[in-house]
């Protein structure tokens, strides 16, 4: 679909501009569950691509739910932070 075209355009731009790595990903779930408590539920996937070879050098998938009073945004941010910890970068 349109997301695939946008992602490919971004990857093409990164390659043309000699970007070494690109972080891509997708959201499988970002919602409040139905039911009495309506807990937030989040599921995401990340891929780190070496642009010189086109190969994925790291990937992670995770999901997380929160308590009924938690926001889906805070649950998502906690999950994203946890998944990205293994990636080292200069500070």
Domains parsed from the chain with CATH numbers: 2-84 (3.40.50.10610)
What is the structure's pLDDT at 91? 59
Per-residue pLDDT 10s for the chain (91 aa) are 788 898 889 889 998 999 999 999 999 999 999 887 889 999 999 999 999 898 999 999 999 999 988 999 999 999 999 999 998 766 5
Collect all residues with Cβ–Cβ distance below 8 Å to 64 and sequence separation of at least 6.
41, 42, 43, 75, 76, 78, 79, 82
Report pTM.
0.81
């Amino acid at each position: 679909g349109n997301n695939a075209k946008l992602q490919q355009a971004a990857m093409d731009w990164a390659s043309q501009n000699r970007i070494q790595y690109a972080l891509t990903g997708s959201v499988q779930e970002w919602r409040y569950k139905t039911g009495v408590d309506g807990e937030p539920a989040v599921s995401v996937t990340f891929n780190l691509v070496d642009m010189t070879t086109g190969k994925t050098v790291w990937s992670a998938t995770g999901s997380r739910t929160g308590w009924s009073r938690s926001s889906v945004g805070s649950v998502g941010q906690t999950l994203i932070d946890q998944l990205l910890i293994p990636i080292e970068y200069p500070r």
